[in-house]
Chain A
């Protein structure tokens, strides 16, 4: 049996279910194309905000047993300087490019979405959940049902392009947040962003990350993500994109069985190289063939049945 590993998010077809996660690699259009060339079924560039931001000083990334902790601080050139990069990716990547946007206020989200929409991307991911910018941008919108819904509503109001709401795992009930963004008009949900953590160097008694606190990614976040996706799948009808520690084909299948139609990959680039997308896709295909699944669709939400 030959397994078909293509998948669909809304009406957008992906040749395989692996997507470059926002915040990893995708600083420029060329960088996004590099991930696509290495097998990503779609790419999400680094989040773009209303104006230029430098982000945090180094170190921005540190490892612990089981994953990484990052606090990059949303550096970006600002929407006006970034449209060219997104356009380059859309022209040259050969796979769907899903821009990611953020703002410090809901009005900023609306403004960035409106400008991004001029490029007519197939979807936009709304980053409601960066855990590392509280010092200047305030608490992440994804931590509150009202705040998350307000952002989605204004973004939907400013553009006709389908909107993916990217949620945070560190909330008392992700079901409530998922329901709130669905009701506000979100067309899909991506879950989850990283969650706050800290690594302290004991010799100097100083947190390693310059921002002190950072977001946990990699293996450690995976069961948290699978649980969130499982809960969201039970609560909403809109499609889910899974993110959090996907490193192997087996990890991707697990997320799909929890309810995801596709998975985003980031940290695994460190563990397995830039061609992790191709490797994971091959492993998904092999799993499907060995276990009698002819399509991704047959596995989506399978753990609920």
Chain B
């Protein structure tokens, strides 16, 4: 009859950081590294972990590698926390908890990944899974300029150069322009079953609009300021006007849900919760 405390599942680890060593780090691009942590966290593409540096802060990171022994996270040195993590050496310890959030859903025979800046991290891991399932993968990868592109070689090795389209804002590599321009071109030429998008807000909004207009399904991986980060209690990542929590009901959401989020590409909430307009930059966070 009644739900008693015994019926509430408690056989799970407590929500607190596990202290782990950094095993190695690999330079990916200017100011961007993949940092590997000795953690048995098993994450699916799109999910994230919270990384803690004691007495400094705790921040969310998308998983770019996960094999049950190690996880890889993509770290772009942009603020006090990421700069510190970027500078840490193998053997040093951090806290990590997770994985949290939703994952991408693979379907169809041919799909396209659209990655902007270091947003390509989770999509590269997804591409690996798709290939294992026999799904054909196209990849559109963009950044401000050549030296900010990540995972170009890893992606080429996976799907071959013919299936990779690179765009840069300044034309220093690949096509001069935005990933969304390349996406539009691709959808005109080929039948694509699903689009997966990860990158800056404005780019994801534009890609979702393109997909919806073309009648092609897709998912984006949203990002907002995470405080409790995955526990779904603080409300800081609730988005207007539907109120869903991007750390629980996201970060991966489908195009239809993305279209309902009026703040996507327009504004986000800063640490205090005050709304702040999102800059014009389309290609990088």
Query: Which residues of A does B touch, CB under 8 Å?
Result: 24-35, 37, 46, 52-55, 57-65, 68, 70, 72, 75-78, 81, 88, 92, 199, 201, 203-204, 206, 208, 210, 219, 247-250, 266-267, 269-272, 274, 279, 283, 286-287, 290
Report the Cα distance A272→B8, complex, angstroms. Answer: 8
Give per-residue flags for B25-60: 1 if the beta carbon is below 8 A from chain A beta carbons, else 0. 000000000000000000000000010101111110
Q: Which DSSP category, helix, strand, loop or mixed, fits chain A's interface?
A: mixed
Q: Which residues of A contact B273 (CB under 8 A)?
A: 27-28, 46, 75-77
B271 touches A75 (CB 8 A): yes
Question: With an 8 A cutoff between CB atoms, is B19 at the interface?
Answer: yes
If A28-B269, A60-B234, A201-B54 touch, whether A77 touches B2 (CB-CB below 8 Å) is no
**What are the 10 tightest A-B residue pairs by CB atom distance, in nearest-first order?**
A34-B243, A58-B58, A31-B238, A25-B235, A63-B15, A77-B274, A30-B243, A27-B235, A206-B54, A203-B19
Question: With an 8 A cutoff between CB atoms, is B174 at the interface?
Answer: no
Q: Which of the residues A35, A81, A88, A247 comes within 8 Å of B5, measured between beta carbons? A: A247
Give per-residue flags for B242-257: 1 if the beta carbon is below 8 A from chain A beta carbons, else 0. 1111001000000000
Q: Which residues of B contact A65 (CB under 8 A)?
A: 14
Report the Cα distance A62→B234, complex, angstroms. Answer: 12
Q: Which residues of A contact B14 (CB under 8 A)?
A: 63-65
Question: With an 8 A cutoff between CB atoms, is B134 at the interface?
Answer: no
Chosen A-B contacts, 30 in total, with CB atoms closer than 8 Å, are: A25-B234, A26-B235, A28-B240, A28-B243, A31-B235, A32-B243, A33-B243, A34-B245, A37-B243, A57-B58, A58-B58, A59-B58, A60-B227, A60-B228, A68-B233, A72-B234, A75-B273, A199-B16, A201-B17, A204-B93, A206-B55, A208-B17, A210-B55, A248-B2, A249-B2, A267-B233, A279-B3, A283-B2, A286-B2, A287-B2
Report the Cα distance A86→B241, complex, angstroms. Answer: 13
Report the Cα distance A242→B197, complex, angstroms. Answer: 45
Report which residue of A24, A30, A267, A283 has the largest number of chain B beta carbons within 10 angstroms of its beta carbon: A30
Q: Which residues of B contact A27 (CB under 8 A)?
A: 234-236, 238, 269, 273
| A58, closest chain B residue (CB) | B58
Interface size bucket, B side? 35 or more
A55 touches B272 (CB 8 A): yes
Report the Cα distance A247→B2, complex, angstroms. Answer: 12
Q: Which residues of B contact A76 (CB under 8 A)?
A: 272-273
Q: How far is the CB of A62 from chain B (nearest CB, A)?
A: 5
| B261, closest chain A residue (CB) | A30
| A82, closest chain B residue (CB) | B273
A61 touches B52 (CB 8 A): no
Q: Which residues of B contact A78 (CB under 8 A)?
A: 272, 274
Q: How far is the CB of A303 from chain B (nearest CB, A)?
A: 18
Report the Cα distance A62→B233, complex, angstroms. Answer: 11
| A60, closest chain B residue (CB) | B227
B54 touches A204 (CB 8 A): yes
Q: Which residues of B contact A25 (CB under 8 A)?
A: 233-235, 238, 245
Q: Which residues of A contact B52 (CB under 8 A)?
A: 58-59, 208
B3 touches A283 (CB 8 A): yes
| A84, closest chain B residue (CB) | B275
Question: With an 8 A cutoff between CB atoms, is B115 at the interface?
Answer: no
Q: Which residues of A contact B228 (CB under 8 A)?
A: 60-61, 70
Report the Cα distance A270→B238, complex, angstroms. Answer: 15
A250 touches B272 (CB 8 A): no
Question: With an 8 A cutoff between CB atoms, is B72 at the interface?
Answer: no
Q: Which residues of B contact A54 (CB under 8 A)?
A: 270-272
Q: Which residues of A contact B93 (CB under 8 A)?
A: 203-204
Report the Cα distance A290→B93, complex, angstroms. Answer: 54
Within B81-133, the residues touching A (CB, 8 Å) are 93, 95
